[in-house]
Structures are given as structure tokens and as C-alpha cells.
């Protein structure tokens, strides 16, 4: 284990960080979009394809056994990473988005009806808005929205007013991708459970920044994406309490999610397999397991402490930039700076920064309603990962000054 946190050693594990962009060293500050991959993840995926590539759960030969074992071992790693009670509570999906859709179209269709209410918040990613809108359109249920204050924090007193006997589900983001706000998720869950209402937690942004414990949180469902967790794209996780998953109907039909098939009747496999139809993203799961190994070796507590220190430093230097207005100033936030520069369009800022080798994101961040709440059409977003440094934040600040000079501010 790296003790104390040695960011230079960490950076050496990520090959892409050593490349040039437009002749400048890469300054990668787009981690809320996707993270870069350590060599150990790259090696794990390459090892599958060079030494034991085969389909899983189907073959009796050695390669099939090795691939199946690695795939299922990764599931156990996920279980441990979020402290689930049982590896069978871990469902592989493509990403957090698919996890939310799975719950909406299985649990939701079976349990939510006309006149029922679903609660989400103003700061949700589209992935935790649209599936519930679709369900409401289909069932006649209603969507209720928790408002936020000017700092980008949930108004819990307003949430309490929304909860009632009509409430049948709550879907809530743990950490906002557009604001960086870290919500009081345990309190949100407890308030819903007082009404017997299940809660889905969108942990796509929080999973790679801080420790997660689904048993301590007592959430009913939780989703996250592998590509934000320093793992491959195309792999994600849905956690669900076993009793809920066992009652939910299958999500898709096909191979491996069945026990028996005749033309008259099909019986379905046990969880998690009844939700994993067809050949899965085998290399993605194995790569995700390798990413979890990497994070576990570093220590999630140490990662969080390092990033919190870095976040505080960045907040200080960014707020000194003339004309910069931070969007999202919650007391408890992590690893995301979303801001605008007076008189300069975010896309223009992004173009200037790219010429300096700085990767950030500009736009609405798949969170249109929250930007509408703050009255801005788009923001500049710089987001941190475990390999970022104070020097990179200084580079960002210099790039912003360059943009101001170019556009005459």
C-alpha cells in the first residue's frame, strides 16, 4: 500500500497521463465524464484475450472455466467493494443508466400504478430522470421533484413534505455530476423508509471518490459505472437487496438467464443470472475487478482524503480568477468544479484549454434541469481524479487567464 499517498507513484500507473496534447503535457480534468485506466486494468483485459479467452457459464474446457472463474471473482470483488451482503445481489449491466432502467422497467412496472408518486431531485442526471418519466407515462404515476437551494443543496424539509402514502419510490443521486454536491444520502433513505418506500441511489459519481457501504446506508438499490471507476467502458453494476431482486421479473430474455425452455413455458435462472441475458461483457467485468483491486490497494479512505485536500486547493485558486462564478457551492461537495466566466461562452473556454493540453467538459452535463435552476445554458466543468495534482490545477488557472486575454475580458 502507498503510505502516505504518493501521487507521483500513482500517476506512473496511468500510461495515458504521459502523452502530449497539442504539444503540451496532458492535464486531464474530465474525470466526471470518464476516468483514465491504470496499467493493471489494461493488463487484466489483455491477459484475458491473450491467455484464456472463452465464453462463460457454457464451456467445459479449461479456457471456459478460467474465464468463468475470473468473471465471477470480479462479482465478489464488487460485493466486497460496496459491502453487499451477498455476491448474488450484484447484477452486471452496461452502465449506471442501464441499472436505473432495469429497476424502472422491472420493479417499477410491477409495483407502481396510476396515482402513485415517484420522488427524484432537481440535481439528477438524465439517467435518473427519463426512465421514471417513461414509467410515469406508461402507468399514470406522477413524478415529484425535491428542490435545491442556491448553493446546490437538497431542501430536506421540502422532501419531507413530498413524502406520503402515495410515494412508492425514491431515486436520488449520491453526488451530483454537475455541481459536485454530496447529498446526505443516509438521511434521505431513512426518511423514505419511514414510509416503507424503497430507494435507489445513483452512485455513478460517488463510487470512485469515497467508500460505499450499502448495508450501512440500507439502500434498496444502487448503481454505478465501471468506466468512472478506472475500469472499462460498457460495464456497470446494479446492486439490489436480494428479496427485491427475487421478486422482480427478468429484464431481457435469452441465453443464460433461463433454467429451462420449451415452446410452452420458460423457467428463469436464479439471481443474478436471470437479469444477465446473453453473452455478457466478460472483459469489462474482469477489468472492473482489476480496477477495484487497484482502488483497494490505494485505499478509498486515502483517496478521499487526498482528493478533499486537492479540492480545497482548487477552490481557492479558481475563485481568485476574475469573472469566475462557481455553480454549486454546497458545504459538502467533492471533486467537481462547475463554473462560468463572465462574457465568455463555455465552449470557447473549452477550445482554448484544449490548445493548452487541458481536458475539461463544457455543456449541460446530461443534467439540463439543474442548469436551468441556476439560469445558465452551460458551464465549464473541471473534475478531479486520484491522479490529479495541485500543479495541474495551477495549469487550469493559467489556461483560464489565457482565455480571458483572448476574449478581451
Q: In CATH, what is the architecture of 43-296?
A: 3-Layer(aba) Sandwich (3.40)
Model confidence pLDDT, tens digit, residues 225-258: 999 999 999 999 999 999 999 999 998 888 888 8
Alpha carbons 349 and 351: distance in angstroms, whole number: 5
Mean confidence (pLDDT) of the chain: 96
Give which of 238, 196, 203 is closest to 221, Cα–Cα: 238
When pLDDT is averaged across residues 335-354 and rounded to a whole number, the result is 96
Instruction: Dump the DSSP string for 11-69.
Output: HHT-GGGGSEETTEE-EE-BTTT-----HHHHHHHHHIIIII---SSS--SHHHHHHHH
Evaluate if residue 365 carries a pLDDT over 50. yes
pLDDT of amino acid 364: 86
- Contact indicator for 272, 56 with CB cutoff of 8 Å: no
Domain extents in the chain: 7-30+299-406, 43-296
**Is 261 or 31 the better-scoring residue by pLDDT?**
31
Model confidence pLDDT, tens digit, residues 19-50: 999 999 999 999 999 999 999 999 999 999 99
Q: In CATH, what is the architecture of 7-30+299-406?
A: Alpha-Beta Complex (3.90)
**Is 256 or 299 the better-scoring residue by pLDDT?**
299
pLDDT of amino acid 337: 98
pLDDT of amino acid 2: 46
- Contact indicator for 266, 258 with CB cutoff of 8 Å: yes
When pLDDT is averaged across residues 193-197 and rounded to a whole number, the result is 98
When pLDDT is averaged across residues 363-391 and rounded to a whole number, the result is 94
Total-model pTM: 0.96
User: pLDDT grade, residue 1 (50/70/90)?
Assistant: very low
SS3 295: helix
Query: Could you tell me which residues are beta bridge partners of residue 200?
Result: 171, 221
Q: What angle do helix axes 282-298 and 39-47 make, rounded to 10 degrees?
A: 150
Evaluate if residue 409 carries a pLDDT over 60. no
Of the listed ranges 263-272, 332-341, 355-364, 369-378, the least confidently predicted one is: 263-272
When pLDDT is averaged across residues 375-400 and rounded to a whole number, the result is 97
Model confidence pLDDT, tens digit, residues 136-182: 999 999 999 999 999 999 999 999 999 999 999 999 999 999 999 99
Residue 230 contacts by C-beta under 8 Å, 6 or more apart in sequence? 35, 36, 37, 38, 41, 208, 291, 294, 295, 385, 386
Query: Could you tell me which residues are beta bridge partners of residue 359?
Result: 28
pLDDT of amino acid 381: 98
pLDDT of amino acid 256: 85
Active site residue 219: no
Alpha carbons 247 and 35: distance in angstroms, whole number: 35
CA angle, residues 15, 310, 128, in degrees to nearest 5: 80
Distance in angstroms between the alpha carbons of the first and the last residue of the chain: 47
Model confidence pLDDT, tens digit, residues 92-121: 999 999 999 999 999 999 999 999 999 999
Of the listed 134, 300, 366, 406, which one is catalytic? 366
User: pLDDT grade, residue 267 (50/70/90)?
Assistant: confident
Q: What percent of the chain clears pLDDT 70, i.e. is strictly above it?
A: 99
User: pLDDT grade, residue 3 (50/70/90)?
Assistant: low
14-19, long-range: CB < 8 A, 24+ apart: 14/38, 14/39, 14/387, 15/39, 15/42, 17/387
Model confidence pLDDT, tens digit, residues 200-211: 999 999 999 999
Amino acid at each position: 500500500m502507498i503510505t502516505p499517498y504518493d501521487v507521483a507513484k500513482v500517476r506512473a500507473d496511468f500510461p495515458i497521463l504521459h502523452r502530449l496534447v497539442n504539444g503540451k503535457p496532458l492535464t486531464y480534468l474530465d474525470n466526471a465524464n470518464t476516468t483514465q485506466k491504470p496499467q493493471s486494468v489494461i493488463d487484466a483485459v489483455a491477459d484475458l484475450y491473450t491467455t484464456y479467452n472463452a465464453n462463460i457459464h457454457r464451456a467445459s474446457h479449461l479456457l471456459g472455466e478460467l474465464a468463468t472463474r475470473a468473471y465471477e471473482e470480479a462479482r465478489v470483488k464488487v460485493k466486497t467493494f460496496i459491502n453487499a451482503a451477498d455476491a448474488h445481489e450484484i447484477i452486471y449491466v452496461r452502465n449506471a443508466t442501464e441499472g436505473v432502467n432495469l429497476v424502472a422497467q422491472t420493479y417499477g412496472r410491477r409495483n407502481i400504478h396510476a396515482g402513485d408518486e415517484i420522488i427524484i431531485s432537481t440535481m439528477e442526471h438524465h439517467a435518473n430522470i427519463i426512465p421514471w418519466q417513461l414509467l410515469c407515462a406508461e402507468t399514470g404515476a406522477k413524478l415529484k421533484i425535491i428542490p435545491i437551494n442556491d448553493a446546490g443543496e437538497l431542501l430536506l424539509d421540502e422532501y419531507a413534505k413530498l413524502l406520503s402514502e402515495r410515494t412508492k419510490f425514491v431515486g436520488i443521486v449520491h453526488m451530483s455530476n454537475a455541481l459536485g454536491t454530496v447529498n446526505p444520502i443516509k438521511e434521505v433513505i431513512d426518511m423514505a423508509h419511514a414510509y416503507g418506500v424503497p430507494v435507489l441511489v445513483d452512485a455513478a459519481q460517488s463510487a470512485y471518490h469515497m467508500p460505499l457501504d450499502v448495508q450501512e446506508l440500507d439502500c434498496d438499490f444502487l448503481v454505478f459505472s465501471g468506466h468512472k471507476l478506472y475500469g472499462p467502458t460498457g460495464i456497470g453494476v446494479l446492486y439490489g437487496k436480494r428479496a427485491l431482486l427475487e421478486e422482480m421479473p427478468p429484464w431481457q430474455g435469452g441465453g443464460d438467464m433461463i433454467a429451462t425452455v420449451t415452446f410452452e413455458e420458460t423457467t428463469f435462472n436464479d439471481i443474478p443470472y436471470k437479469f444477465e441475458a446473453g453473452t455478457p461483457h466478460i472483459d469489462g467485468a474482469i477489468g472492473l475487478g482489476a480496477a477495484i483491486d487497484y482502488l483497494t490497494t490505494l485505499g478509498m479512505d486515502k483517496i478521499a482524503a487526498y482528493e478533499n485536500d486537492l479540492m480545497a486547493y482548487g477552490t481557492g485558486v479558481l475563485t481568485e480568477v476574475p469573472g469566475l462564478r462557481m455553480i454549486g457551492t454546497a458545504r459538502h461537495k467533492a471533486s467537481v468544479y462547475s463554473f462560468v466566466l463572465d462574457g465568455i461562452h463555455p465552449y470557447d473556454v473549452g477550445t482554448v484549454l484544449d490548445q493548452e493540453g487541458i481536458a475539461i467538459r463544457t455543456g449541460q452535463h446530461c443534467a439540463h434541469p439543474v442548469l436551468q435552476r441556476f439560469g445558465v445554458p452551460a458551464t465549464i466543468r473541471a473534475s478531479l481524479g486520484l491522479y490529479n495534482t495541485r500543479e495541474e490545477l495551477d495549469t487550469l488557472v493559467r489556461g483560464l487567464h489565457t482565455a480571458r486575454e483572448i476574449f478581451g475580458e
